[in-house]
Amino acid sequence: MTRLCVNGETHDLACEDRDSLAGVLRDRLGLTATRIGCQHGSCGACNLLLDGVPVRGCLVPVALAEGQAVTTLEGLRDDPVMIRLREAFTAHHALQCGYCTAGMLVAARDLILRGRATSAAEVRAGLAGQLCRCTGYDGIVAAVLQAAQ
Amino acid sequence: MIPAPFTLRRTADWDALPALLEDALPLGGGQSLMPLLALRLAEPAALVPLRDLPGLSEIAERDGALWIGAGVTHARIEDGIGPVPLREWLSLVASGIAYRPVRNLGTLGGSLALHDPASDWPVALLALGASAVLRQGDMRRVLLVEKFCTGAFATALQPGEVIEAVTIPIPATGTRFGWCKLAPAPGAFAEALAGVLHAPGAAPRIAVASPAGARLMPEAPPPDDPHLARLRDVAIRRAGA
């Protein structure tokens, strides 16, 4: 059995060793905010927090997340930075299809908390690992800059 | 895009490691290996995560060198380890590797052990005169990076042996480091890469990425690679050499 602590709740699950953390969160726990895109670490849609820092959920074998705190977007509902980001993303039309948004928000929150969202150039470089195919990024960069203020 | 079935073999025992690795691959942070598995470019029967091995994330200054455990992540190095100015140089190199969510898990040892010819650490460590501490059970040997990196995706690691740490000599006062990476986007693998260490009164150590992996290149580069020649010049200038 794999014991996972997700958003403060403990779950005991029978998993295969090859199962990814992102896949188990979606398919077994119904936590579908975490998106699965490329499944090899390139697109960033599956970003989530492991012990408070963002990682690619598709690249973590689920068994290796045992003993660490997993936080998904569902667990960041009341996070003050995430509240500001959600409002700013809405105001700046920073999403269309929304597929990249969960990963984008997790990455943007980390940039803000590390003080790396002080200019458009810095935000663009900091979000270079997050692929969005709809927006052209302008709205996303504007939203992150606003939320960082 | 789902890996072929494999078994995870957990261990926190250096002595048990060689036998566990007989028909398995060692797993560092997994930021290169897990994508290879997802793409089914590798289908190992088993993986042995190294992160529980004692001392693998240790950082210490000893014998005039900075000891960095192989399990230390790029993000931790980016945030600053060791004495200035080495601290700033290492941070600069680490910050250019992939993206923060990848740097939070990817490790120095994993990157060096894979020795992707377009990756950052082999070239940087070569310029810095670093050594790899290799361990098999309770046996250790230390190899300079130029001896460790034997070719693209090839190293001197023997079966059952893993990198325990990297050691980097603390630079003499007045030493400068020049680093230059050309990549199509921030965090992407390099198209060209050069690192230069210039200690006062010594010839500069000039390291570059080549198709055959990281190599020292004191001589002028071949004329058929304009990117390399330009980057090598920039890194030399940045090192004040």
Instruction: Give the pLDDT band of residue B16 (cuts 50, 70, 90).
Output: very high
Q: What is the CATH number of domain A2-75?
A: 3.10.20.30
Mutation target vs B (from A35, A64, A68, A141; most B CBs, 10 A cutoff): A64
Q: What's the mean pLDDT in A80-84? A: 98
- CB of A75 within 8 Å of a chain B CB? The answer is no
Chains A and B: how many Cβ contacts under 8 Å? 85
pLDDT at B224 over 90: no
**Interchain pair B186, A53: CB under 8 A:** no
Domain boundaries, chain A: 2-75, 78-148
For tokens 């920039």, what's the residue?
B234
Instruction: pLDDT band for A78, please (50, 70, 90 cuts).
Output: very high
pLDDT band at B241 (very low <50, low <70, confident <90, very high): confident
Average pLDDT over residues B161-167: 98
Residues present in chain A in total: 149
pLDDT digits (tens, 9 = 90+) for A45-61: 999 999 999 999 999 99
Q: What is the pLDDT of residue A76?
A: 98
Section A15-22 average pLDDT: 97
B5 to A64: CB separation less than 8 angstroms, yes or no:
no
Chain B positions touching A111 (Cβ under 8 A) are: 100
Contact A107 B2 (CB under 8 A): no
Give chain A positions within 8 Å (CB) of B185: 128
The pLDDT, as a whole number, for residue B135 is: 98
The average pLDDT across B207-219 equals: 94
- Chain A residue numbers with beta carbons less than 8 Å from the beta carbon of B2 are 18, 20, 23, 39
* List of chain A residues whose C-beta atoms are within 8 Å of the C-beta of residue B3: 18
Whether omega before B85 lies within 30 degrees of 0, making that bond cis, reads yes
Residues in A 91-130 with any Cβ partner in B closer than 8 A = 106-107, 110-111, 125-126, 128-130
Which SS3 state, helix, strand or coil, does residue A16 take? coil
pLDDT digits (tens, 9 = 90+) for B96-139: 999 999 999 999 999 999 999 999 999 999 999 999 999 999 99
Residues in chain A within 8 Å Cβ distance of B186: 125, 128
Instruction: Note the pLDDT of residue B223.
Output: 83
CATH number of A78-148: 1.10.150.120
Instruction: State chain A's mean pLDDT as an integer.
Output: 97
Residue B12 near chain A (CB below 8 Å)? no
Contact B100 A40 (CB under 8 A): no
Structure confidence by residue, pLDDT tens digits, B57-110: 999 999 999 999 999 999 999 999 999 999 999 999 999 999 999 999 999 999
Position B222 pLDDT exceeds 90: no
DSSP letters spanning chain B: --PPP-EE-----GGGHHHHTTTSEEESS-TTHHHHHHTTS---SEEEE-TTSTTTT-EEEETTEEEEETT-BHHHHHT--SSTTHHHHHHHHHHTSS-HHHHTT-BHHHHHHHT-TT-HHHHHHHHTT-EEEEEETTEEEEEEHHHHEEETTEESPPTT-EEEEEEEEPPPTT-EEEEEEE-SSTTSPPSEEEEEEE-TTS--EEEEEETTEEEE--SPPPTT-HHHHHHHHHHHHHTT-
Query: For residue B200, what pLDDT band results from cuts at 50, 70 and 90?
Result: very high
pLDDT digits over A95-141, tens only? 999 999 999 999 999 999 999 999 999 999 999 999 999 999 999 99
**How far B36 CA lies from chain A's nearest CA (Å)?**
8
What is the per-residue pLDDT for B1?
80
Residue B226 has pLDDT above 90, yes or no: no
